[in-house]
Amino acid sequence: MTKVFKRIYTYNFLLPAAIVYTVIFIVPTVMSFFFSLTRWTLFKWDFIGLENFKTFFQEPSLSIGFKNTLIYAAVTCGLKVVAGLLLGVFLTGKIRTKDYLRSVVFFPVLVSTIAVGIAFGMMMHPTTGLINTTLALFGIEGPDWLGDTRIALLSVAAVDVWKGVGLATVIYIAGILAIPEEYSEALQIDGGNAWNKFWNITVPLSRPAANAVIILAFIGGLRSFDLIWAMTKGGPGFATDVIASIIYKQYQGGFYGLATAGNVILFLFVTAIVYPLSRYLTRKEVDL
């Protein structure tokens, strides 16, 4: 009796969280798998099998969407990993205004993404924006950052990095501070310089931090939406469409079943990329 009670007793603590998780997460997820197989107008639905998936894959902008999603995820993730590491090393070094600078770097993370998007959108205006008027002072004619289809996606990615690098830096700082001092002492005894320390101690031993940054930034990049929507709405034309913005436009058009099918595909796509990536990265971690 007591044994059973003890078992149930512990599960009781799980219950509140489990109920919330089930009601607002598991149930809608299962329902979305169902609605992805229907033509759904919010007022009624017709079961149409895999028709939505077929339509989704025939979407003309889809190939651009997949390509852009991968480019965006890779570019933002790569830059955040490198810039985050460098900033992390810098901000754990012996500098005076360390605390102040740490807050400055982290600050953009706290600002609303939409506000950042709108503000940068104005700064990137080709004729009246701050960036191009500043460049004009030096006699440089700046490009149309968000209007030129060749660079629009990279302009948005740059803003994403500006906004997200603070989080990466904080994770790196935690990782670097967790490296025991003994390693540096051993290095000093062996006569290593600062570069040796960075390359042979900091980089390999902050690997768990790097992995966290890579996974977070990559997932963030794959499902990026808010910043792109605030800055370009997937435009000009379809030039900066990512999978999430294609789905959102379908939802806006009232194609709820189709948009749900798109979300199911996005979910499978993200899982298919991130699960092996995370497996691979965790295997490479070293114990401190």
Partner 1 sequence: MSKPRKFFALLSSVLMLSGLLAACGGGSSDKENESSPSASGASPSGSASVSASAPAPSESQEKVKLTLLVDNNQDTVIYTKALVDAFQAKYPNITIETETRPTGSEGDNFVKTRLATGDMNDVFFYNSGSLMQALNPEQNMIDLTNEPFQANVIDSFKPTVSINGKIYGAPVGSTMGGGWFYNKKIYAQLGLSVPKTWAELMENNKKIKAAGITAMIGSYKDTWTSQLIMLADYFNVQAQVPNFAADYTGNKAKYATTPAALRGFQKLEETVGYYNKDFLATTYDAGLKMLAEGKGAHYPMLTFAVPALVQNNPDKIDDIGFFAQPGDSADQNGLTVWMPGGAYIYKNTEHPEEAKKFVEFVASAEGVSIMGTVSKPSGPYAIKGAALPDDTPQVVKDMLPYFDNNQTAPALEFLSPVKGPSLEQITVEVGSGKRKAADAAALYDQDVKKQAQQLGLAGW
Burial 116-135 (b: 16+ CB within 10 A, else e): bbebbbebbbeeebebbeee
Sole binder of partner 1 in the list 1, 17, 42, 286 (CB under 8 A): 42
Q: For partner 1, what does the binding mask look like between residues 144 and 163, x meaning CB under 8 A? A: x-xx-x--------------
Does position 184 interact with partner 1 (CB under 8 A)? The reply is no
Sole binder of partner 1 in the list 33, 53, 198, 251 (CB under 8 A): 251
Q: Which amino acid is at 161?
A: V
Interacting positions 58-97 with partner 1 (CB under 8 A) = 58, 60-61
Does position 226 interact with partner 1 (CB under 8 A)? The reply is yes
Does position 37 interact with partner 1 (CB under 8 A)? The reply is no
Q: Considering only the stretches 120-128, 172-180, 193-201, 206-214, report the one whose residues sit in contact with partner 1 under the rule CB under 8 A.
A: 120-128
In the chain, DSSP assigns E strands to 38-40, 45-47
**Taking the alpha carbons of 92, 97, 102, 105 in that order, is the dihedral positive or negative?**
negative
Does position 29 interact with partner 1 (CB under 8 A)? The reply is yes
Q: Between 169 and 240, name the residue whose CB sits nearer to partner 1.
A: 240
Q: Considering only the stretches 53-61, 73-81, 96-104, 172-180, report the one whose residues sit in contact with partner 1 under the rule CB under 8 A.
A: 53-61
**3-class SS at 53?**
helix
Are 222 and 273 spatial neighbours (Cβ–Cβ below 8 Å)? yes
Total Cβ atoms within 10 A of residue 45: 15
The answer for residues whose C-beta is within 8 angstroms of residue 163's C-beta and 6 or more apart is 108, 109, 111, 113, 116, 227
Structure tokens that stand for 38 in this block = 């229907």
> Where does this chain bind partner 1 (CB under 8 A)?
25, 28-29, 39, 41-44, 46, 55, 58, 60-61, 124-129, 144, 146-147, 149, 219-220, 223, 225-226, 233-239, 244, 248-255, 258, 263, 266-267, 270-271, 274-275, 278
